[in-house]
Amino acid sequence: MSDLIVIAYDNESKAEDVRSTLLRLQKEYLVDLEDAVVVTKTEDGKVRLNQSFNIMPASIASGSLWGLLVGMLFLNPLLGVAAGAAGGALAGALTDIGIDDGFMRELGEAFEPGTSALFILVREARLDKVLPEISRYGGKVLRTSLPKEQEEKIQAALMGEARNQATQQAA
C-alpha cells in the first residue's frame, strides 16, 4: 500500500527540484514512487498540475498500433491508425493513475498565489537516506497518510535544515 505525502513550498522551482531529487533517488533504489505531481497556484489564481507520468502518449501509440492491425484486416490501415489514435487519446484522457486530480486541484485552491506543493505517492522509502537529500529545500508537510511519528520526523527534518540555512545566511 502506498503513502501520500504533500509538502508545501513557497515557489514552484523548489517543488520541482525536490521532485527531480526524488526521481534521481528512485534510480538509486532508495525510494519507490508511484506518482509525483507538482501543484502550483499561479499569480492569477489558477491551479496547475504538472504530472511526472503522462499516460497520453503511450495511449495514443497503443491505440494507433491496434488500429493499424484492425485496419489491415479490413484493408484500410490508414483509417485504422486514425481511429485507433483517437480511441487511444480518449482512453488516455479518461485514465487517471496515481493521485486523484480532483483532490489535488481542491487542495491547490487553498494555496496562496505563487506557491506550490509536491504531492508524492510513495510505495516504499529509505527515510534515513531520502530525508537528508530533500531537507535542504525546506517545506511544510500539509497532509500525509503516514503514522504521526513519521510525519513529525519528516517535518522536523524539513524545518531543521531550513533553520540551519537561515542561520548561515544571517551570519
Contacts of 130 (CB under 8 A, 6+ apart): 22, 25, 30, 31
CB 153 within 8 A of CB 136: no
What integer pLDDT is reported at residue 26 of this predicted model? Answer: 93
What is the Cα–Cα distance from 68 to 62, expressed in whole angstroms?
10
AA identity, residue 25: L
What integer pLDDT is reported at residue 167 of this predicted model? Answer: 52
Tens digits of pLDDT across the chain (171 residues): 788 999 999 999 999 999 999 999 999 999 998 889 999 999 998 999 887 655 455 555 665 666 656 666 666 666 666 666 666 655 555 445 568 888 889 989 989 999 999 999 999 989 899 999 999 999 999 888 888 988 888 888 888 755 555 555 555
Q: What's the pTM?
A: 0.70
Which helix (H) or strand (E) segment holds residue 34: the answer is strand 31-41
Count Cβ atoms below 10 Å from residue 130 Cβ, excluding itself.
20
Count Cβ atoms below 10 Å from residue 116 Cβ, excluding itself.
25
CB 118 within 8 A of CB 37: yes
What integer pLDDT is reported at residue 134 of this predicted model? Answer: 92
Q: What is the largest CA-CA distance in the chain?
A: 76
CB 32 within 8 A of CB 124: yes
What integer pLDDT is reported at residue 69 of this predicted model? Answer: 61
What integer pLDDT is reported at residue 84 of this predicted model? Answer: 62
What integer pLDDT is reported at residue 31 of this predicted model? Answer: 93
